[in-house]
Amino acid sequence: MQGDFVGRTIHYILERQCRSGGFCFYRLEEPNGADTYFALATLHLLGKKIDDSRTLQFLKNAQASDGSYHNPYQAYYAFKGLKYLGSRPRHDPRPYLRDQLQHFTAKNSTLETALKRLDYLTDLCKELNIVIPPRPLENIVDFIMGCRNEDGGFGKPASTLLSSAYATRILKRLATSTDSSGVLKFLKSCENSVHGFLNVPDMAPSFLEHIHAGLTISRLLEYLPRHLDACYQFIVGCQDPNGGFARISHGLPSLADTFLAIHSLTILDALGETFHLS
């Protein structure tokens, strides 16, 4: 990734920086944790360093004085964002994260929401060297394996690439000894010569998050997708003239989708290096 392609993306992101700190994809003075994290993460992937004391304070202020956050998502966005700025939270977040793990429930959540929450929580545990106690660990693994289907994928009522990506990433992170051949079989069934990947086999259209999910699983399982060029063309086709990326060609760009696009291209580069593609 280089040249005008990168420059336009960086310009898109920096234009959405708020004067008071943080980022907002619709360019109002209304910063939020998600946009701020996705902006900083994407700039990091593109090699663009940013030194912004206002954004640093915005992220620090997301934490309460007892070390807690409004929800696990805000904890993730704030902690990760601060890391990209070379800083840490004011207060130790580990008691809050341990409590979240202890009381994890998928009640009143969609499956993908529950899996995303677990993905964020387990990632933060790894970052902070938190050892998950046996009972919560067992509950997490049981919950994820309860989402596994005969086709090898994960999801309810049917397997999806998105749910499978979350589940595979969590299980890999927890070093859980599970057979990966099933999810690989499901991944292959989602490959598509036009889009690269589909969220569900034989069900088009596809969106950027589905391409990202397919590439994420491919990298985790060290699998070379059959339609790398289709993946690449889909991703670059989602870039708007303003430099940002949308879920699909001619869609509305966002900082979240811009991160998915750039991260997907990074994975494509990594797969190319792994399999020594010229």
Same domain, 119 and 53: no
User: What pLDDT does residue 179 have?
Assistant: 78
> Which one, of 54, 75, 145, 140, lies nearest residue 103 by Cα?
140
**Range of the structural domain that residue 209 is part of:** 192-278
User: What pLDDT does residue 106 have?
Assistant: 86
Kindly report the average pLDDT of the chain as a whole number.
95
The pTM of the full predicted model, rounded to 2 decimals, is 0.96
Same domain, 145 and 77: no
Q: Tokens in use for 186?
A: 């499901």
Same domain, 208 and 264: yes
Coil, helix or strand at residue 258: helix
2: confidence class by pLDDT, cuts 50, 70, 90: low
Same domain, 58 and 108: no
User: What pLDDT does residue 278 have?
Assistant: 64
| Cis geometry, peptide bond prior to residue 225 (ω within 30 degrees of 0) | no
Domains held by the chain: number: 3
User: Which of 51-55, 178-182, 239-243 bottoms out in mean pLDDT, i.e. has the lowest?
Assistant: 178-182
Instruction: Examine the fold and report which residue of 91, 123, 144 is the final residue of a domain before the chain moves on.
Output: 91
Same domain, 66 and 104: no
Q: Tokens in use for 14?
A: 């920096």
Same domain, 148 and 178: yes
Cβ-defined contacts of 200-203 (< 8 Å, 24+): 200/158, 200/159, 200/160, 200/161
Coil, helix or strand at residue 197: strand
Instruction: Examine the fold and report which residue of 36, 57, 91 is the final residue of a domain before the chain moves on.
Output: 91
Residue 212 pLDDT > 70: yes
Beta-strand relationship, 196-197 and 191-192: antiparallel
Same domain, 129 and 174: yes
Per-residue pLDDT tens over the stretch 47-104: 999 999 999 999 999 999 999 999 999 999 999 999 999 999 999 999 999 999 999 9
Same domain, 145 and 167: yes
Same domain, 126 and 87: no
Per-residue pLDDT tens over the stretch 106-120: 888 899 999 999 999
